[in-house]
Amino acid sequence: SFIMPTGANLPSLFSKPGERLSLIKIRIKQRLYDLRDMAVFRWTTKQKLRIWEPKKVAPSLHKDMYTAFADGDLDSLRLLCGDGLLNSFQKRIAARRNAKMEWKLHKLLSRPKVVSNKAHHYMGYDQDRRQAIVKIHSLQSLSKFDAQGKLLKGEPKEVVEYLVIEKNYHMGKESPWYVWGTTEETTMQRFIEENRKKEARTKYAYQ
């Protein structure tokens, strides 16, 4: 998914106007594709889009996910995460050998922002999908317990995350939202690399 870069990742309009305009064009193009896909989804599935929903559920998923990870609560993580992310958390929990941790959300530093909102209809498969990327800017800390059970408080850190959340529709049944993973802003370098990979896959497919 394309995420418009911000701050230092955004090319300067004065020193790199070409790159800046290219990213703006890409964003507009992506938004048009997303609107088209949403219209198809709405028309074919008759499901309500509820485009406001991701902004509402993402903060709770974010908090519950990291709390469960710190607690080593795999049962909760199975309900909150997609398979790939769950596998990653399982490995990280196993690697720390059941060491106790405490994750704390001190506060949200800005309101959650939906930077991508998609809907997909897979014709012929009776399966559909909603996906959204929500920017969460927070102050959070991760603390550890020592061998004697004493809490060693972690330093609160300012963190910007792009949480990818999804929900699936199968045979007319709708799943709850879950966390697919996280992603990053689309830098110009990343965009060029992804285009090269896409061109390579297309070239290979026609060989």
Tens digits of residue pLDDT in 121-137: 988 777 899 999 999 99
Quick one: pLDDT at residue 146?
Answer: 83
pLDDT of 14 reads: 85
Q: What is the pTM of this model?
A: 0.87
CA torsion 53-55-56-61 (nearest 10°) is 110
Q: Which H helix or E strand runs over 35?
A: helix 17-45
What mean pLDDT do residues 93-121 have?
93
pLDDT for 163 equals 98
161-194 tens-digit pLDDT = 999 999 999 887 899 999 999 999 988 777 778 7
The answer to whether position 204 is within a domain reads: no
Is the model's pLDDT at 83 over the cut of 80?
yes
**Is 136 within a domain?**
yes
Does residue 57 carry a pLDDT above 70? yes
Q: Helix 17-45 to helix 188-205 angle, to the nearest 10 degrees? A: 60
Contact present, 155 and 141 (Cβ < 8 Å): yes
Rounded CA-CA distance 17/15 in Å is 6
Amino acid identity, residue 186?
Answer: T
Residue 2 inside a domain? The answer is no
Res 193: pLDDT: 80
Q: How confident is the model at residue 140 (pLDDT cuts 50, 70, 90)?
A: very high
At residue 95, the pLDDT reads 93
The reported pLDDT for the residue numbered 127 is 84
Residue 60 lies in a domain: yes
Q: Return the pLDDT at 148.
A: 80
Q: Is residue 205 part of a domain?
A: no
Q: What is the pLDDT of residue 151?
A: 87
pLDDT at 204: 63
* Count of domains forming the chain: 1
Least confident stretch, 58-62, 77-81, 148-152: 148-152
H/E element, 126 = none
Q: Are 78 and 86 in contact (CB under 8 A)?
A: yes
Residue 203 lies in a domain: no
CATH number (domain holding residue 46): 3.10.450.240
Say what the pLDDT of residue 202 is. 64
Parent domain of 161? 7-196
Look at residue 201 and tell me if it is in a domain.
no
More confident residue, 99 or 91: 91
Q: Residues 1-36: pLDDT tens digits?
A: 789 888 888 888 888 898 889 889 989 999 999 999
Angstrom CA distances, 124 to 43, 47, 104, 176, stand at 15, 17, 44, 23
Amino acid at 164: V
